[in-house]
Amino acid sequence: MEICKHDEFCGGCIYQGTPYEEQLRIKEQEVLSLLEKKGVACGEILPIEPAPSQYRYRNKMEYTFGDMEKGGDMTLGMHRKKHFMSIVTVDQCQLVHEDFNRVLRATLDFCQEKGYSFYHKKSHKGLLRHLIVRRGVHTGELLVNLVTSTEPGFDEEGYVQLLQQLPLEHTLVGILRTFNDSLADAVKCDELKTLWGRDYYMERIMDLDFKVSAFSFFQTNVEAVERLYSYAINLIDDFSGKVAFDLFCGTGTITQTLAKKARKAVGVELVEEAVAAAKSNAALNGLDNCQFIAGDVFEVLETVTEKPDVIVVDPPRMGISPKALDKIISYGVEQMVYVSCNPKTLVENLYYLQYYGYEVKSLKPFDNFAGTRHTECVALVVRKG
């Protein structure tokens, strides 16, 4: 595929024009050098797993309204490289399904024709803020969420008709409007209004059904994460009769998959909305041996009386805090699986675990986000002796 037409200004993909084999080599090398630099010994380092697809893999995009040049035409898309105030219209992005590009283009044309203003970060005046598009990869459902201020005058009915008439490959299941008057340049929800349809879409991962609401966290590349999770869970010898802890569990995809094999699975997650979603999804899937607890991992583990036989961790980019790691180590489990979205903090945590009596039996990098700098990894950590 040719180099993206937005490459000159958009900062999304740093590897435009780099052959894919070379991208994989760079990412694999980065992981190896981090391990070497920190002195983390690995029993086996497996080759990087390529992405199932290099293009059209993202299932969610959050676009911003703005302008490219001060006082210029309104744009809708991504922040410009090294110019945070400028927004580049990205209606031919290669990382998203064409339906996303169609919705973006139609929305921008509609808003320009109506003469609407975008929300200015400095004056805090204006109507249009963000456009969020989400899709169910395995279900073919599409959810559109327009984020505006409470400034009056937006033609909701006209916008609904516009989207309903678009020639889309997906089934449009919901059109939403989020009101946001917060001063911060971030998507905040003061009020959510369903203009048409429903406020969620359905997805299916690892033979489980998930109801994904407007602001639920959900894995961005579904096909890649299915392979990564399957690999991670299969690293554990045997779950039968065991209690498994899934720490930093998000909406509980891994927890529910563990529950199908273990006696009991306990998911812990800081974000309360994610825990609420995890509970309703477990009920949807008929799983009654799952427990989800909202709170900081360290604080929750301090109060939980049950002891795990096996632990899976999938922390955010900043990794696991020393306090939480100490608590995890104190359980003395034989096997632990570490799923990481940031090789730097992974290596720091593995070094700590190594110092306190664990060793890395195997480590495998995954390229889930082709074209970008992100690399995921899965490590199997076992207790020495």
Supply the residues annotated as catalytic. Answer: 341
Tell me the H-state helices in 248-334.
253-259, 272-284, 297-303, 322-330
* CA dist., res. 187 & res. 189, Å (int): 7
- Among 368, 320, 362, residue whose Cα is nearest residue 337: 362
Buried/exposed 333-352: b ≥16 CB within 10 Å, e otherwise: bebbbbbbbbbebbbbbbeb
Ligand-binding site membership of 245 (annotated): no
Tokens representing residue 358 in the block: 């664990």
CA distances from 179 to 203, 229, 334 (A): 26, 36, 49
**Beta strand pairing status for 128-135 and 141-148?**
antiparallel
Name which of 216, 187, 116 is nearest 156 in CA terms.
116
The two structure tokens encoding residue 74: 């309104």
Question: Is 376 among the annotated ligand-binding positions?
Answer: no
Is residue 217 marked as binding?
Answer: no
Which single residue is written with the structure tokens 């969620």? 200
Residue 141, annotated as binding a ligand: no
Beta strand segments in 208-262, E: 208-213, 243-247
Annotated binding site: 219, 248, 269, 314
Annotated binding site for S-adenosyl-L-methionine: 219, 248, 269, 314
